[in-house]
Amino acid sequence: PPPPPPDDGGGPPPPPPRIEEDAATGERTLVIGSSRVGPLVAPTRPELVPSEFIFHDSAAHTACLERMLRDWACGHHMLLLGNQGVGKNKVTDRLLELLSYEREYMQLHRDTTVAALTQTPALTDGKLVWQDSPLVRAITHGRALVLDEADKASLEVVCVLRSLLEEGRMLLADGRRVAPVGSPPRPGVLPISPGFRALVLANRPGFPFLGNDFFRECGDVLSCHVVEAPSRSSELALLAAYGPDVPPPLLQKVADLFAELRSLADAGSLGYPYSTREAVALVKHIQAFPHDGVLGAAANIFAFDAHQPALAAQLASVLRRHGIPAGLGSGAQFAVRLPEGKPLPPAGPRG
C-alpha cells in the first residue's frame, strides 16, 4: 500500500491574511500571522499591481506568505525554489497584491542574453525601437521585479544578476551604469530606487526541469524560501475551493492519488513530480464537466504519458489502486473494459 500523505497534525488552520486600518489616521497595515508591514502606500500605477487572479488561502500558502512578508519587512531580495506547479507564482502575486505593490515581470530562458536582460525591442510608428526592459523599469521606479524561470538562464546572465543583487551594480546595454541605492544621480548613472525588490523564482536543478543550480550561484545573496507541495489537509482545502460541487470522498481520492505520485517521484520511480497544479486541473475539470467523470478528467492530465508503455503501465497501476479504472498504453487510453451486455430473462415467479 502507498505511504500515507503528509498532514498538518490536525491543528486549526492559521487565519488568512488581513488588512487592518487605523480609524484615526487611515493607515493600512498588512498582517499575516505574527508578521506586520505598514503603512501600505497607494500605488502610482495600480494597473501594475497583480489582481484578477484566482487564489484560495490555505495553511501551507499562508505560512509561506508569512515568511516572505518577514523578509520583505527586512528589505531582502527573495528566491523561491520549488518544483513546477507548487504555487511559486501564485504566492508571489498574492503577496504583491496584499501589499498593493507595483510589479514588473520578466521570464528568463536559455536564449536570454545580457543585452536582452536590459533592453526590449518594440515597434513604434512603424519603427523598431529599443526600450528599457522590465528589470530596468523596476530599478528606475522602485517596483518589485519578478524573475521567473531563473534556473533556465545562462551562467553569464546569472553572474550579471548576482552583481546587481549583491552590490547594486550593473552595466546597461546603452552605456548607463546602475549604481547602489543612495548614489548621487549624474549623467550616465542610474541609481537604484529604494523601493526596488527582486523576487526570483526557480525550479530545483536537475531532471526533469534540466535547469541550472541557481541556488549554488546566487543563494547566498538572496533570502531563500522552499515552496513545497502542500500537506494533505491544505491540499484538500485547496481542492474543495476549486471544486465546491465535487463530493468530498472524491477530493480525498484525488489528494491521496497525487500524494502517492509525488512520493514515487521522490523515490526516483517517476521522473515528473506531479504537483498541486495537476491536481487542481483534475478537480476543475470535474467541477466544470461532471458528466465526463473522473476518467475523462484523468485523461486530460495523464494522456501525454500514454505513449510511453512502461510509464503508462506504472501510472495505470497507481490510478487503479485509488479506484480509477484506467488502462494506459497499447492504445487503451483511459477506459473501463466492460463485458458484453446480455438481456435479462423476462420477470416472473420462480418455482
DSSP code string of 237-286: HHHHHH-TTS-HHHHHHHHHHHHHHHHHHHTTS-SS---HHHHHHHHHHH
The 3-state DSSP class for residue 100 equals: coil
74-122 confidence digits (pLDDT tens): 889 999 988 888 888 889 999 999 999 999 999 988 888 888 888 888 8
Computed over every residue of the chain, the mean pLDDT equals 82
Reply yes or no on whether the pLDDT at 4 is more than 60. Answer: no
Q: Give the mean model confidence (pLDDT) for residues 164-183.
A: 86
Select from 153, 173, 265 the least CA-distant residue to 214.
153
Say if residues 59 and 231 touch (Cβ distance below 8 Å).
yes
Strands 144-148 and 127-132: unpaired
Reply yes or no on whether the pLDDT at 294 is more than 90. Answer: no
Residue 210 is classified by DSSP as: T
What confidence score (pLDDT) does residue 198 get? 92
Select from 223, 222, 221, 202 the least CA-distant residue to 213.
202
pLDDT band at 329 (very low <50, low <70, confident <90, very high): very low
What confidence score (pLDDT) does residue 103 get? 92
Reply yes or no on whether the pLDDT at 244 is more than 70. Answer: yes
pTM of the model: 0.77
Select from 113, 154, 151 the least CA-distant residue to 135.
113
What is each CA distance from 301 to 26, 76, 298, 311, in whole angstroms?
48, 38, 5, 14
Q: Give the mean model confidence (pLDDT) for residues 11-39.
A: 83
Select from 214, 187, 171 the least CA-distant residue to 78.
214
193-228 confidence digits (pLDDT tens): 998 999 999 887 766 666 677 788 787 888 888 888
Burial grade of 239 (CB within 10 A; 0-12, 13-18, 19 or more): buried
pLDDT band at 1 (very low <50, low <70, confident <90, very high): very low
In terms of C-beta distances under 8 Å and separation of at least 24 residues, what long-range contacts does 224-227 make, across chains too? 224/78, 224/79, 224/81, 225/64, 225/67, 225/68, 225/71, 225/78, 225/79, 225/80, 225/81, 226/81, 226/82, 227/64, 227/80, 227/81, 227/82, 227/86, 227/87, 227/88, 227/91
